[in-house]
Structure 1
Amino acid sequence: MRLSTKWRDTWSTIASDVDSRRSERVTIEGDVFDVVRMGRGEPLVLVPGLAGSWKLLMPLARRLAREYEVVSYSLRGDRSRGRGGPGDSRRRHVDVGGHADDLAALIDRLGMECPAVFGVSFGAAVALELAVEQPGCLGSLIVQGIEERFRTTIGSTIAQHVLERYPLPANSPFLNQFLNLLYGTKPEPGPRTDFVVDRIWETPQAVMAERLRQLRQFDVADRLWRIDVPTLVLAGSKDAIIPASRQKRLAQGISGARFESIEGAGHIGFVTHADAVVRQVHDHFQRVKASV
């Protein structure tokens, strides 16, 4: 999928604000992480998902940056370039706990003191792992698109198998079905869908497959009691990957956590329903302030 000049210009205005974005690179244990900052105010760290890196979060980050200092970064493996076939990643992979260690080190390296952390999808697993193992690193927690124990499905098993073994073109039927799952419905052709496709394919297949393997081992169910920061669990009402009912159970397992549903949103509601997500984030910050 490619955009016409008209649509590309329109969506680029929505999706990014290059002039106000500040970029840097941070080295942690010999690995380089791209870091982007936007806005001014209370710090909010956005942890990206399984594919698309921080770039897929830019429409949301731009909106949040009107009120907060938004920081996002590349997960380990995101800086590999191109679609890449199986085994094409040049970066070593770690488990979800390793990604959480990276996040803790990054927060420390950037000099942030207990920022709010907002993780989406795979990034939500990373944020949860940080909250249960290193709770002193964050001041509040927001997660979208995760449950306390990842449940392997036929769909995730097939997806991992395909990503590991078959280099896929951007217009493959598999990708179309994958998009349907992400949106919770068949997406309308246009700039937003093209944006999502382009960002996803910037993450090599091998990296996506490895992260699916890591999720299969993810389980914080018996450690949720360790979370002692204000927590908001967001879920798209049409999330076809992790249904809202299962995300609600996650919230029920965390002391004092709130659950909110984003009506009509799928798994990537942070892209498709960014304004609704921003309202929930703002309300969360206000509640945290009021409780101090």
Structure 2
Amino acid sequence: MTLTYDLHGPVDACETVLLSSGLGGSAGFWQPQIPALVEAGYRVIAYDQHGTGRSPGTLPLPYTITHMAQDVAEILDATGTARCHLAGHALGGLVGLQLALDAPDRIASLILVNAWSKPNPHSARCFDARLALLRACGPRAYVEAQPIFLYPAAWCAAHAERVQAEVEHAFSHFPGEATMRARIGALRAFDVDARLSEIAVPTLVAAAADDTLVPWTCSRRLADGLPNATLDCVPHGGHAHSVTEAEPFNRSLLSFLAGVTTRNEIAA
């Protein structure tokens, strides 16, 4: 299995940030963040997850977040990266949590964007509805509904052409129903709530209070359960607030990373 990844920024940078996307799995989700990270001097790795985009392939069954964490470890090996700051959106945040448990020496810090530590009934209802739509109406209806869960309604209305272009791209690159069901099954089965105290790395927990897919209280639970976490909850921006509110998100991200680097230098 070969994963496609992109390297950005200086090859000799002291710090590497690996970006792990949500359910869509595409490296392109992080376009609002990559230039800011590179300008700040970080080496950046962004990748298409197994079964998505430029990384096609059949997923093992049952598929798990552990499989996805192993993929990240392989990318770190392939790029000669001993440790990274891992930023993960939703499912990508679960990948970061799992890797921090399985290989804590590979993680310098975590940035968890609208992520969670255990299943919740509201998100389960949303995924049930999305899967039912996929089964009954097919991929076109599934991807047309996707912006409803990602973005605030006002933002969608104000950026209608951009949103429709994203829908068309998602439809033309749809990974297939079996792959989508396996990926959703993996994230729905994820539960590390009882093990949060084992993850000691500095963590920024980023959430939007108006997220319609994942209640912001899931992020509060992460911040409460992780020993070294800071909660940054913004009032507006939706599930993909790193896109809709990119500038303030980037400021928070870079401030956190700078703080982690400073603490590491002092400790050394």
Q: TM-score, normalised by structure 2?
A: 0.86
User: What corresponds to 1:92 in structure 2?
Assistant: 59
- Aligned partners of 1:243, 1:197: CA distance in 2, in Å? 24
User: What corresponds to 1:167 in structure 2?
Assistant: 138
Contact 2:21-2:91 at 8 Å conserved across structures:
yes
Q: 2:24 aligns with which of 51, 55, 60?
A: 51
Structure 1 residue 80 displacement after superposition: 6.7
- Aligned partners of 1:181, 1:225: CA distance in 2, in Å? 30
User: What corresponds to 2:127 in structure 1?
Assistant: 156
Structure 1 residue 244 displacement after superposition: 1.4
CA-atom RMSD in angstroms: 2.1
Does 2:238 align with 1:266? Answer: yes
Deviation digits for residues 44-64 of structure 1 (CA, Å, limit 9, x no counterpart): 000011115112222322332
Structure 1 stretches of 5 or more lacking a match?
1-30, 82-88
What secondary structure is seen at the aligned counterpart in 2 of 1:71? strand
Assess, with a 3 A threshold, how the Cα gap between structure 1 residues 137 and 117 changes in structure 2: closer, same or farther: same
Count of aligned pairs between the two proteins: 252
- Aligned partners of 2:18, 2:263: CA distance in 1, in Å? 21
Structure 1 residue 79 displacement after superposition: 3.9
Assess, with a 3 A threshold, how the Cα gap between structure 1 residues 230 and 195 changes in structure 2: closer, same or farther: farther
User: What corresponds to 2:150 in structure 1?
Assistant: 182
Q: 1:140 aligns with which of 109, 124, 135?
A: 109
Structure 1 residue 176 displacement after superposition: 4.4
Deviation digits for residues 218-277 of structure 1 (CA, Å, limit 9, x no counterpart): 001111122121111001221111121221111110002000023311111122122122
Does 2:95 align with 1:126? Answer: yes
Contact 1:38-1:65 at 8 Å conserved across structures:
yes
Structure 1 residue 192 displacement after superposition: 3.1
User: What corresponds to 1:229 in structure 2?
Assistant: 201
Amino acid of the residue matched to residue 188 of structure 2? Answer: R
Matched ranges for 1:246-257 at <5 A: 246-257=218-229
Amino acid of the residue matched to residue 226 of structure 1? Answer: E
Does 2:170 align with 1:200? Answer: yes
Structure 2 stretches of 5 or more lacking a match?
none
Assess, with a 3 A threshold, how the Cα gap between structure 1 residues 252 and 161 changes in structure 2: closer, same or farther: same
- Aligned partners of 1:199, 1:64: CA distance in 2, in Å? 25
What secondary structure is seen at the aligned counterpart in 1 of 2:110? strand
User: What corresponds to 1:71 in structure 2?
Assistant: 45
Structure 1 residue 199 displacement after superposition: 4.3
Amino acid of the residue matched to residue 98 of structure 1? Answer: H
Contact 2:53-2:175 at 8 Å conserved across structures:
no
Q: TM-score, normalised by structure 1?
A: 0.79
Percent identity (aligned):
25
What secondary structure is seen at the aligned counterpart in 2 of 1:77? coil
